[in-house]
Amino acid sequence: MTSPLLTLNSGARIPSQGYGVYKVPPQETARLVRQAIDAGYRLIDTAAFYLNEEGVGQAVRQAISDGVVSRNELFITSKLWNDQQGYDSALRGFKESHQRLGLDYLDLFLIHWPAPAQDKYLETYRAFEALAADGVVRSIGVSNFLIEHLERLLQECTVRPSLNQVELHPWLQQGPLRAFHAQHGILTQAWSPLARGQVLNDPGLLELSAELGLPVAQLVLCWLRELGISAIPKASSEARIRQNLELPTMQLSPQTMARIAALDRFQRVGSDPRTVG
């Protein structure tokens, strides 16, 4: 089973559902990513900070070699860490990620955090634009950017970011940011869509889960799909990897969508983008 495709403003198509490898141990990465590819995942999300790009690249190359998938069916994302922001540093950082992955090109490269105290994300993004012009990166974007960071970036850039990957789940629904993305043709992608597992015990979601006969994780991922939001949940077991991808085709009713919308607490389980870096 594979997930539906969404179109980025670059023209590239990205699977709505991906496999994220944050906190996946390097020694486990190749095995789990290969399980994800075998299960039908075509979007794999990693980052320099995760220290597991090598394992992602190993699994991707082996799956291609085994004839399971072709490179153009896959969508591989990585991210530049904060200590490599700046024009020249960003180019070096991409080169290092590129070498660790061992792939001809990267489908998407993101600035991991705006790191506003450094005030380097504009020059970092100019380096990203150069990478896109060279064709070694097919699409470029950002992660954890707030509206204030995006407004400044859009005033300066020549290539609009294709995507902003942000913390987004039923307790932090990011309504104003999503509206800004829609206005400017930027795709919203959710990291930690299950709030690091915390929403799995939310009473409102448990009630809906029982009514619909859906596990809470699948309910949340269906909710994101209905909103047109890409998601990259992490899973460490083959069963959970498959469950997160094998979503029912049923549409959630407006009433169900409204009940989930009412759960928004504006509560982060991750860091505040204003203070990182």
Nearest to 234 by CA among 33, 91, 74: 33
Q: Is 164 helix (H, G, I), strand (E, B) or coil?
A: strand
Name beta bridge partners: 13: 7
Q: Cα 116 vs. chain centroid, distance in angstroms?
A: 21
Enumerate the H helices of 213-277 as residue ranges.
216-226, 238-245, 254-261
**Beta carbons within 10 angstroms of residue 151's beta carbon:** 12
* Cβ–Cβ < 8 Å for 94, 47: no
Q: Return the closest-CA partner of residue 46 out of 18, 81, 78, 90.
A: 78
Among 50, 87, 121, 125, the active-site one is 50
> Furthest-apart CA pair in the chain: how many Å?
54
Any catalytic annotation for residue 121?
no
Please count the residues of the chain: 277
Q: Tally Cβ neighbours within 10 Å of residue 105.
A: 15
Q: Which residues pair with 111 in a beta bridge?
A: 80, 142
Distances (CA, A) of 73 to 13, 67, 84, 109, 200: 10, 12, 30, 17, 32
Q: Name the H helices within 112-247.
A: 121-134, 147-156, 175-184, 203-212, 216-226, 238-245
The answer to the question of whether 184 is labelled as a binding residue is no
Catalytically annotated residues: 50
List, as residue ranges, the binding site for substrate: 112
